[in-house]
Amino acid sequence: MLEKKYKRVLLKISGESLKDDNSGSGIDFKIIERIAEEIKQVSDNGVEIAIVIGGGNFWRGSTASEMGMERAAADYVGMISTVMNAIVLQDALEKKGVITRVLSAITMQEIAEPFIRRRAVRHLEKKRVVIFAGGTGNPYFSTDTAAALRALEINAEIIFKATKVDGVYDKDPLKFVDAVKFNELTYLDVIKKGLKVLDSTATTLCMDNNIPIIVFDITKHGNIKNAILGKKIGTTISRG
């Protein structure tokens, strides 16, 4: 068994990192399979893992709003998309023998438990992987904010944000070859530089409560396990 650095962590997985690149949307089940295997390895190592999952592979409320849809309604559709992703990930994990619970901020009692903080903590204490779906349950808040909120509610030591790039850059590295990567940033750096790694609400929430964030590339095999077990990868955001 590998030495673990953390007891309880929150992993934020963007919906876009799950999408099938051939169709431009939906779920790539090879990606889900790999993510589930790495989460299993970390869970088997004794780390308590909570996950907040996005829904951007199916729907983006902000985009629908720009197209003329009422913003609150668009955001609720996005929340439902996160439940879809959570159930798919739960299925992949449980096929590997990982006991998993989906807790939704939007009541869907036939397919998920309602989010209750004490219940979530108890599941984690029993070494179950907890997947938080439905965002915060409120429109106008991103799943980044949901990740920060849930991490604080369950007393997670750190937030791992899994993206499709290997850290935080001064501009989009997928579009600009001269983009510069930051190995470390403070919360204020993220806000003042206008870096789009987290929305301002999530960043401020983490800053006010001093919970560090590590941003890393989920597409590289082994990175979920390496990040959670303490290997230095990606970009660390903290008080400095």
The count of C-alpha atoms lying within 13 angstroms of the C-alpha of 44, restricted to the half-sphere facing its C-beta, is 13
pLDDT at site 19: 83
Among 142, 155, 134, 139, which residue's Cα sits nearest to residue 202? 142
**Secondary structure of residue 49 in the 3-state scheme:** strand
pLDDT at site 237: 96
CA gap 126, 41 in Å, rounded = 17
Averaged pLDDT for residues 62-69: 77
Domains and CATH numbers, the chain: 8-238 (3.40.1160.10)
The tens digit of pLDDT for each residue in 81-138 reads 999 999 999 999 999 999 999 999 999 999 999 999 999 999 999 999 999 999 999 9
Q: Between vectors from CA 103 to CA 150 and to CA 57, what angle results, nearest 5°?
A: 85
pLDDT at site 150: 98
Angle between helices 143-153 and 200-209 (to 10 degrees): 20
pLDDT at site 63: 75
What are 8's strand-pairing partners?
Answer: 48
What are 114's strand-pairing partners?
Answer: 104
pLDDT bracket for residue 3 (50, 70, 90): low
pTM assigned to the model: 0.93
The sign of the dihedral angle between the CA atoms of 123, 235, 202, 33 is: negative
Q: What mean pLDDT value characterizes the chain? A: 91
Ordered DSSP codes for 137-206? SSTT--HHHHHHHHHHHTT-S-EEEEESSSSEESS-TTT-TT--EESEEEHHHHHHTT-TTS-HHHHHHH
- Which structure tokens are listed for 177? 């070859």
The percentage of residues in the chain with a pLDDT greater than 90, rounded to a whole number, is: 70
pLDDT at site 23: 64
The tens digit of pLDDT for each residue in 151-175 reads 999 999 999 999 888 999 998 888 8
pLDDT at site 59: 76
Q: Which residue has the higher pLDDT, 29 or 25?
A: 29
Range with the lowest mean pLDDT among 1-10, 37-46, 87-96, 180-189?
A: 1-10
Contact 66, 27 (CB under 8 A): no
Averaged pLDDT for residues 182-202: 92
Q: Is the per-residue pLDDT at 64 higher than 80?
A: no
The tens digit of pLDDT for each residue in 141-153 reads 999 999 999 999 9
Residue 124 CB contacts under 8 Å (≥ 6 apart), including other chains: 8, 48, 49, 50, 130, 154
pLDDT at site 7: 93
Among 163, 128, 123, which residue's Cα sits nearest to residue 143? 163
Q: Is the per-residue pLDDT at 24 higher than 80?
A: no
